[in-house]
């Protein structure tokens, strides 16, 4: 029957209920209230960190109110929902974003000021939530922001790692990278709601018995069971009450102690079992673009997908719809192959637990899942050994083999007798051991497959999955070019530019921030000297902020009138930080050989690097060491250091990016053509009016299409050339002295130990001298010429500023709002619904 709501007197309830506090006086009361109660601290002698905690708690209360309304709204409405499954969410700081999205930034600033605090000092107290490695994880965070802003019923699902990406230290003695743990939860995390009532059991190991009743069902039993506990992170939309959910799972033992072992006196064994359960969500794997086949990583993947699917199934069942309608109410986006086990798990749930016949279950599954590929690098394509899968997930291996068998039959039917094709398309790679190709599984079971930029999506079709395109047809494979949220990556990190844009467009900020194509309106003002002057002043102000930051860190003066040239991203050979540092050395050697008079004509430049290397990636770590040691020599050289200086900023993070990006005159996006799927920092720099120096790769191409080729600096060989060049390197190698003498001189300078090292850099230099897989010897000359063009262009400041304005003006396409709209309409088929005021 109908439940009576509320208990007690409705008026008493409603008259006591609060809404979002938007009045400054209410914000102040709430902050002080949290100081007195939640923090139990005396109001006087409160420090900046205490003020941060109180402001965070006050803001969180507002978020909770909206979050609750949103969850009730969508539970009542029962729309189709989309779920974004990602092992990484690189969120960064939350407070400033929450204040912006709630529209209470000015009130909170005022309130803090009247309590004696400056909001800038308070905001930087927050630690980053760094549950991700790089681009893939940050993309997930941008997509959550855009989903909430567009009032779409989208939830994220991930893991609540106790340790996020490691903290990077640079050793004083030799300049190399050291990793330290990131215990980000040490001080309570106000942005999550522990849901100790939302718990699922997840099984590992054991055995699977098929029921021989012709149903295809099996019973999986025994093994180890662990608990998945939900922690909900609130994701506010900008300019809306809609506040979505990011649900992160934490693992814990089912029982604190295994009583049986305990009674038997085997205390250590009992404690071990409880440790191994907690270990599952203990740490984020810090490898980007490589797979290691570690059992714990597979455990993470299954733990997360099993808990997430159980949760979705429970929500679906609460709606009382027939199971066959599952795909009408649920769309699941797989962020890379990491969550591919979700496909197998849903099959298991449908067949074994819901008693759905195999072919019906397969129809449901193949209508539910969508798969995004983020790389074509072979070392990043996940494969899991069959024996490991057999041991850890015996039932899932059976299901995988059942999928393989049926898929083989259908390929055989379409292409009879084509054994080679079957081998290429198989989900199982033969070998010792056999391996499961997760990408092939994801493709076979998904309704659509997409790459993340036009060129990349083309390579996905032509190089990665050509047989599957032939088999399933072209329309299953498409493109969604990545995007970034303009709230964080323009308004928050570059408030002065945001204000200038608002003034110039004569549009309210919230209009253009939700419809980024409106930036095009800047084009009519490009020639306005007043705008040019203000534009340059904003850039200068951001450069001074960065200069100040670096001066504090290194105790060295930074000239904010010099060109700021920035490359910040994970260290990887394909991203070619090596090309950049070799170019810097080349420039240094040139400067050294000039007379003081000649030097005065040179464009002054400050080069910034930042980024982490995977702890086991030897060559990438050597690159960091080289950059650091080159910087020590260059910055200390009185002949040249007014003209060229170099900084490697340690511990790259979302918050550091927020300082670096607005200050860049130019960014380097110089991956070997065809290797960077999209890139997203390229979009962020351009949004802040930093020009692009790059290769014809990933989203660089689409950026150039938007802003025009004369506003970007392109260089290097094109994607179709790369295979041929590599072939030449292997079969007709030409010594670098002959092929590229300028580069050879640079390599020799490093070898001669002018930057110290005593020969340690040889393995790094040899990646260029021998094999040169990333074609530095082919691109170096063209790169140096492009850098010269950049220098020349910078001499004409007015022209440069115009290029900068034009660049920002054409960034509309690269809003993650556009990307999420694409997914919502073309993939998920979900609709917006606004939570009422
Ligand atoms: C990662 O950050 C990316 C791809 C991967 O396969 C892995 Cl494992 C991590 C990056 C791409 O390298 C980058 O080009 C792209 O912009 C980003 O994903 C988001 O799609």
User: What are the pLDDT digits (tens) for 215-244?
Assistant: 889 999 999 999 999 999 999 999 999 999
The rounded distance, in Å, linking the Cα atoms of 671 and 695 is: 6
pLDDT digits (tens, 9 = 90+) for 714-731: 999 999 999 999 999 999
Are 278 and 326 in the same domain?
Answer: yes
DSSP 8-state symbol, 283: B
3 state SS of 608: strand
- Confidence grade of residue 128 (pLDDT, cut at 50, 70, 90): very high
Measure the CA–CA gap between 580 and 605, rounded to whole angstroms. 13
Residue among 34, 575, 576, 717 flagged as catalytic:
575
Say whether pLDDT at 262 is over 60: no
Predicted local confidence at residue 1, as pLDDT: 42
Give every CB contact of residue 556 below 8 A, 6+ residues apart in sequence: 550, 635, 645
Q: Does the residue 825 lie in any domain? A: no
Predicted complex ipTM: 0.99
pLDDT band (50, 70, 90) for residue 260: low
Domain assignment present for residue 115? The answer is no
Considering the domain architecture, whether residues 584 and 474 belong to the same structural domain is answered as no
- pLDDT-above-70 percentage for the chain: 97
Ligand 1, CB within 6 Å, residue ranges: 133-136, 139, 288-289, 336, 374-375, 380, 452, 482, 676-680, 698
Tell whether the model's pLDDT for residue 104 goes beyond 60. Answer: yes
Strand, coil or helix: what is 528?
coil
Annotation says 502 is catalytic: no
The CATH code of the domain that includes 154 is 3.40.50.2000
The average confidence (pLDDT) of the chain is 96
User: Is the pLDDT assigned to residue 564 strictly greater than 60?
Assistant: yes
Asked whether residue 259 carries a pLDDT value surpassing 70, the answer given is: no
Helix axis angle for 741-751 and 776-795, nearest 10°, is 100
**Residue 659 in 3-state DSSP?**
helix
Which atom of ligand 1 is closest in space to residue 699's alpha carbon? 16
Which protein residue has the closest C-alpha to ligand 1 atom 18? Answer: 136
C-alpha 377 – ligand 1 centre gap (Å): 10
Q: Work out the pLDDT band at 436, boundaries 50, 70, 90.
A: very high
* 101: DSSP letter: H
Residue 269 is among the residues annotated as catalytic for this protein: no
Give yes or no: 785 in active site: no
Distance 135 CA to ligand 1 centre (A): 5
Domain boundary among 435, 455, 482: 482
Q: What is the mean pLDDT of residues 505-516?
A: 98
Listed range (259-273, 348-362, 478-492, 523-537) with the worst mean pLDDT = 259-273
Best residue among 134, 574, 575 to mutate for probing ligand 1, ranked by most atoms within 8 Å of CB:
134
Would you give the DSSP letter of residue 709? G
Catalytic residue (choose from 60, 93, 576, 684): 684
- Give the model confidence (pLDDT) of 296-351 as tens digits: 999 999 999 999 999 999 999 999 999 999 999 999 999 999 999 999 999 999 99
* Catalytic pick among 59, 108, 680, 777: 680
Cβ–Cβ contacts within 10 Å for residue 527, how many? 11
Question: What is the total count of domains within the chain?
Answer: 2
**Whole-angstrom Cα distance, residue 155 to residue 316?**
14
In a domain, 345, yes or no: yes
Q: How far is ligand 1, taken at its centre, from the CA of residue 619, in Å?
A: 20
Please indicate, yes or no, whether residues 515 and 393 belong to a single structural domain of this protein: no
> Can you tell me the mean pLDDT for 393-422?
97
| 460 & 498 share domain | no
Q: State the pLDDT confidence band at 256, using cuts at 50, 70 and 90.
A: low
Are 136 and 284 within one domain?
Answer: yes
| Beta carbons within 8 Å of 120's beta carbon, 6+ residues apart | none
Which of 339, 375, 380 for a ligand 1 pocket mutation test, highest count of atoms within 8 Å of Cβ? 375
For the residues 589-599, what does the mean pLDDT come to?
Answer: 98
User: What CA–CA distances, in Å, run from 316 to 89, 309, 647?
Assistant: 25, 10, 53
Active-site residue among 34, 217, 514, 570? 570
Distance 566 CA to ligand 1 centre (A): 19
* pLDDT above 80 for 263: no
C-alpha 386/C-alpha 416 separation (Å) is 27
Task: Please write the tens of the pLDDT for every residue from 191-207.
Answer: 999 999 999 999 999 99
Contact call for residues 146 and 244 (beta carbons, < 8 A): no
Confidence tier at 692 by pLDDT (50, 70, 90): very high
Q: Are residues 478 and 569 in the same domain?
A: no
- Mean pLDDT, residues 756-779 taken together: 98
Question: Tokens at residue 61, please?
Answer: 């209360």
Q: How far is it, in rounded angstroms, from Cα 820 to Cα 837?
A: 24
Span from the CA of 334 to the centroid of ligand 1 (angstroms): 13
Kindly give the distance from the C-alpha atom of residue 407 to the centroid of ligand 1, in angstroms, as a whole number. Answer: 29
Last residue of one domain, picked from the residues 431, 448, 482? 482
Active-site annotation holder among 569, 612, 621, 717? 569
What tokens appear for 213 in the block? 């009743």
- Same domain for 534 and 398? no
For 231, the token pair is 């922690």
The residue ranking higher by pLDDT, 658 or 290, is 658
Q: State whether 202 and 337 are in the same domain.
A: yes
Q: Are strands 192-204 and 224-236 parallel, antiparallel or unpaired?
A: antiparallel
Ligand 1 atom with the smallest distance to the CA of 676 is 14
Give the nearest ligand 1 atom to 452 CA: 20
Is residue 570 part of the annotated active site? The answer reads: yes
- Please determine, for residue 2, whether its predicted confidence score (pLDDT) is greater than 60: no
**Each residue's pLDDT tens digit, 61-89:** 999 999 999 999 999 999 999 999 999 99
What percent of the chain lies above the pLDDT cut of 90? Answer: 95
Q: Going by CA atoms, what residue is nearest to atom 4 of ligand 1?
A: 374
Whole-number Å distance, alpha carbon 61 to ligand 1 midpoint, is 35
Q: Helices 529-554 and 797-809: crossing angle, nearest 10°? A: 90
pLDDT of residue 111: 98
Amino acid 212: pLDDT: 87
Q: Average pLDDT, stretch 10-32? A: 96
- What local confidence, expressed as pLDDT, does residue 261 receive? 59
Active site residue 672: no
Is 86 domain-assigned? yes
Q: What is the pLDDT of residue 422?
A: 96
Domain, as residue range, for 751: 492-814
Res. 43: pLDDT tops 90: no
Distances (CA, A) of 360 to 321, 350, 368, 406, 410: 16, 9, 13, 14, 16
Compute the distance from residue 375 Cα to the ligand 1 centre, in Å: 6
Res 32 pLDDT > 80: yes
Whether residues 400 and 276 fall in one domain: yes
2 versus 302: the higher-pLDDT residue is 302
Ligand 1 mutation target, pool 137, 336, 677, most atoms within 8 A of CB: 677
Q: Kindly state the average pLDDT of the residues 360-388.
A: 97
> Is 287 part of any domain?
yes
Rounded to the nearest 10°, the torsion over CA 253, 255, 261, 264 is: 150
Query: What backbone phi and psi angles, to 5 degrees, belong to 65?
Result: -60, -50
Nearest-atom index, ligand 1, CA of 138? 19
Residue 500: both structure tokens together: 């200038």
Is the residue at 606 inside a domain?
Answer: yes
Ligand 1 atom at minimal distance to the Cα of residue 289? 8
pLDDT in tens, 662-687: 999 999 999 999 999 999 999 999 99
Dist. CA 162 → ligand 1 center (Å): 23
The catalytically annotated residue of 81, 374, 543, 599 is 374
Question: 231: Cβ–Cβ under 8 A, 6 or more apart, which residues?
Answer: 160, 192, 193, 194, 195, 247, 248, 249, 250
Residue 9 is encoded by which pair of tokens? 């007197």
Average pLDDT over residues 377-383: 95
- CA angle, 226 then 245 then 10, to 5°: 105
Q: Is 813 a catalytic residue?
A: no
Domain closes at, from 463, 482, 501: 482
Reduced to 3 states (helix: H, G, I; strand: E, B; else coil), residue 344 is: helix
Q: Are residues 198 and 325 in the same domain?
A: yes
Question: What's the pLDDT at 257?
Answer: 55
Q: Whole-angstrom Cα distance, residue 155 to residue 82?
A: 7
User: Has residue 37 been placed in a domain?
Assistant: no
Do residues 532 and 570 both lie within one domain? Answer: yes
Pick the closest to residue 458 from 481, 425, 442 (CA basis): 481
Instruction: Flag whether 36 is in a domain.
Output: no
Interaxial angle between packed helices 48-77 and 95-102, expressed in degrees from 0 to 180 and rounded to the nearest 10: 50
265 and 162 housed in the same domain: yes
């Amino acid at each position: 029957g109908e439940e009576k709501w509320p208990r007690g007197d409705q008026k008493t309830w409603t008259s006591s209920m609060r809404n979002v506090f938007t009045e400054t006086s209410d914000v102040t009361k709430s902050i002080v209230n949290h100081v007195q109660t939640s923090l139990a601290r005396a109001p006087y002698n409160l420090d900046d960190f205490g003020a941060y905690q109180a402001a965070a708690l006050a803001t969180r209360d507002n978020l909770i109110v909206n979050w609750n309304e949103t969850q009730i709204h969508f539970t009542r409405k029962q729309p189709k929902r989309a779920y974004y499954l990602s092992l990484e969410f690189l969120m960064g700081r939350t407070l400033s974003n929450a204040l912006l999205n709630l529209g209470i930034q000015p009130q909170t600033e005022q309130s803090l000021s009247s309590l004696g605090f400056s909001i800038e000092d308070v905001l930087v107290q927050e630690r980053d939530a760094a549950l991700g490695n790089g681009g893939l994880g940050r993309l997930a965070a941008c997509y959550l922001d855009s989903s909430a802003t567009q009032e779409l019923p989208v939830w994220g699902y991930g893991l609540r790692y106790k340790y996020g990406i490691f903290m990077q230290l640079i050793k004083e003695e030799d300049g190399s990278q050291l990793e330290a743990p990131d215990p980000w939860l040490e001080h309570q995390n106000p942005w999550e709601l522990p849901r100790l009532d939302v718990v699922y059991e997840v099984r590992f190991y054991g055995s699977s018995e098929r029921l021989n009743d012709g149903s295809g069902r099996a019973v999986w039993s025994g093994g180890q069971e662990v608990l998945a506990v939900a922690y909900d992170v609130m994701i506010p939309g900008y300019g809306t009450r809609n506040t979505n959910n990011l649900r992160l799972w934490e693992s814990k033992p089912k029982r604190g102690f295994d009583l049986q072992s305990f009674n038997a006196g085997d205390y250590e064994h009992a404690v071990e079992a409880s440790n191994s359960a907690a270990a599952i969500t203990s740490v984020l794997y810090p490898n980007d673009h490589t797979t290691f086949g570690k059992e714990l990583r597979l455990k993470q993947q299954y733990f997360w997908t099993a808990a997430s699917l159980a949760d979705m199934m429970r929500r679906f069942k609460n709606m009382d719809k027939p199971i066959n309608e599952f795909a009408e109410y649920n769309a699941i986006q797989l962020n890379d192959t990491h969550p591919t086990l979700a496909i197998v798990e849903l099959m298991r749930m449908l067949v074994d637990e819901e008693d759905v016949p195999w072919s019906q279950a397969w129809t449901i599954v193949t209508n539910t899942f969508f798969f995004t590929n983020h790389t074509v690098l072979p070392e990043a394509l996940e494969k899991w050994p069959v024996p490991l899968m057999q041991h850890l997930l015996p039932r899932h291996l059976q299901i995988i083999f059942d999928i393989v068998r049926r898929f083989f039959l259908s390929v055989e039917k379409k292409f009879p007798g084509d054994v080679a094709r079957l081998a290429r398309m198989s989900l199982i790679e033969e070998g010792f051991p056999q391996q499961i190709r997760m990408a092939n599984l994801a493709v076979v079971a998904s309704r659509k497959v997409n790459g993340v930029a036009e060129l990349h999506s083309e390579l996905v079709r032509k190089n990665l999955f050509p047989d599957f395109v032939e088999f399933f047809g072209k329309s299953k494979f498409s493109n969604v070019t990545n995007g970034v949220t303009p709230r964080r990556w323009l308004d928050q990190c570059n408030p002065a530019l945001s204000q200038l844009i608002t003034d110039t467009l004569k549009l309210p900020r919230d209009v253009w921030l939700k419809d980024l194509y409106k930036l095009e309106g800047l084009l009519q003002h490009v020639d306005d000297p007043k705008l040019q002057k203000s534009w340059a002043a904003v850039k200068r102000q951001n450069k001074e902020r960065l200069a100040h930051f670096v001066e504090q860190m290194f105790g060295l003066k930074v000239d904010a009138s010099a060109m700021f040239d920035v490359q910040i991203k994970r260290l990887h050979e394909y991203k070619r930080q090596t090309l950049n540092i070799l170019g810097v050395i080349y420039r240094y050697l040139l400067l050294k050989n000039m007379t003081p008079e000649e030097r005065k004509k040179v464009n002054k430049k400050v080069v910034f690097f930042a980024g982490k290397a995977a702890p086991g990636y030897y060559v990438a770590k050597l690159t960091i060491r080289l950059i650091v040691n080159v910087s020590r020599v260059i910055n200390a050289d009185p002949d040249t250091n007014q003209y060229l200086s170099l900084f490697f900023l340690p511990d790259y993070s979302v918050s550091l990016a927020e300082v670096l990006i607005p200050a860049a005159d130019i960014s380097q996006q110089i991956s070997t053509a065809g290797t960077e799927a999209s890139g997203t920092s390229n979009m962020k720099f351009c949004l802040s009016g930093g020009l692009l120096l790059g290769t014809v790769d990933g989203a660089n191409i689409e950026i150039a299409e938007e802003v025009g080729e004369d506003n970007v600096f392109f260089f290097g060989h094109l994607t179709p050339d790369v295979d041929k060049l590599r072939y030449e390197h292997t079969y007709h190698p030409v010594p670098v002295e002959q092929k590229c003498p300028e580069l050879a001189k640079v390599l020799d300078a490093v070898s001669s130990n002018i930057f110290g090292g005593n020969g340690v850099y040889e393995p790094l230099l040899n990646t260029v001298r021998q094999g040169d897989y990333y074609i530095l010897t082919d691109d170096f000359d063209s790169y140096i010429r492009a850098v010269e063009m950049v220098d020349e262009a910078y001499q004409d400041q007015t022209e440069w500023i115009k290029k900068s304005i034009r660049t920002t003006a054409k960034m509309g396409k690269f809003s993650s709002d556009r990307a999420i709209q694409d997914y919502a309409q073309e993939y998920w088929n979900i609709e917006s619904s606004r939570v009422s005021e």
